[in-house]
Structure 1
Amino acid sequence: MTPDTSRGPASAGPAFDLLARITGVLTGAVLVALVLLVCTEAMLRGFANVSLGFAEELTGYAVVMLTFFGAALALRSGSLFQVHFLFERFAPATRRIVLRLFVVTALVISAVLAWKGYDLMASSLSRGKFAPTVLRTPLWIPQLLLPVGFLLIATFLVEQFLLCGRTPRGED
């Protein structure tokens, strides 16, 4: 049995909805920019044998951002890291316990990775490190994607934890 997603993912409140909407808009904009950049680079190379030079660096940053933000949105919609055929066989009370254990474990891991990502970013910022590329991007800028991405995932994990505490009507 597949959950009804015609009304969108379950929500723990308007703040989570707003954050999801902002994340979706940012993700969509970056995806469009990524496609345009890759197509432009491919056309320039194919027709004029010229390269933008910076396209590879920016596409790498965009892919990292899309990975984190996409994972957060997939987690929120309930389509990430779930073995439905096994999960659906559990009794509703067991499902809630398993979900709570997953959320708490994932939250701890996300918090540690966000903290370590922040340490890495702060170290690059304080030492003034730059990428050895055409753009000479200050490394703290792309490294900022790590703590932001893990905090976004952690935020939607908190929402999942709040939602798994609710008992739907007709269960138990």
Structure 2
Amino acid sequence: MRRDNTKLGPATAGPLFDFAARAIAVATGTVLAGLVTLVCLEAFLRGALNHSLGFAEELTGYGVVFMTFFGAALSLRGGSMFQVHFLLDAWPAATRRWVVRSFVVIALILCVILAWKTKDLPLSSFSRGKFAPTVLRTPMWIPQIILPAGFAVLAFFLVEQLLLTFRKTEDE
């Protein structure tokens, strides 16, 4: 299901998916701006004043993991994930649709399993009151919740991709 995103934007399965994508885009943009600011401030303080914030590495690590998962979900929705177009474009539209459906169903099953399994770690950390052995002493469940949330968001947009395979395209 190749889309020309330069003119129309990503294909959408409805306003719920649009709202979620906008919210995730704002969140990832905010995290990215915060990371850039934090890294620049840390570099300036180290270079100019020979001082470190001490917590920059911890927060940037959490931010990078957040942006990886949530950015991947936005890339999936925008159709900018890696695809083998020379094969997909050579097949008839019906075959292409079934290949995409198969991929989406397999990926959806994997995301649901991974979200389900990774939820145990933050729940365990929360119940046991675990904190990171760092300057900030971050409760461990906070960064650990990024994994199941990220897999859940990926699964959410995989559902949208699956719904889109049932729409008729202009080449059918």
TM over 0.5: yes
TM bracket (short chain): over 0.9
What residue number does 1:4 align with? 4
1:14-53 aligned at under 5 Å gives the runs 14-53=15-54
Measure, in 1, the Cα distance between the counterparts of 2:54 and 2:70.
Answer: 26
How many residue pairs get aligned? The number is: 170
What residue number does 2:111 align with? 110
Two-structure CA RMSD over aligned residues (Å): 1.0
For 2:8, what is the secondary structure of its paired residue?
A: coil
Paired AA for residue 115 in structure 1: W
TM-score norm. by structure 2 comes to 0.96
Structure 1 unpaired stretches of 5+ = none
Superposition deviation, residue 138 in structure 1:
0.5
What residue number does 1:97 align with? 98
What residue number does 2:58 align with? 57
Measure, in 1, the Cα distance between the counterparts of 2:90 and 2:171.
Answer: 17
Could you list the per-position Cα deviations for residues 139-159 of structure 1 after superposition, in whole angstroms to 9, with x for gaps in the alignment? Answer: 000001011111100000000
Paired AA for residue 78 in structure 2: S
Measure, in 1, the Cα distance between the counterparts of 2:137 and 2:118.
Answer: 20
Structure 2 unpaired stretches of 5+ = none
Identity %: 63
Superposition deviation, residue 4 in structure 1:
1.6
* Large movers: runs of 4+ above 3 Å: none
For 1:24, what is the secondary structure of its paired residue?
A: helix
What residue number does 2:152 align with? 151
Would you say the 8 A contact 2:65–2:146 is kept in 1?
Answer: yes
Measure, in 2, the Cα distance between the counterparts of 1:25 and 1:131.
Answer: 27
TM-score norm. by structure 1 comes to 0.96
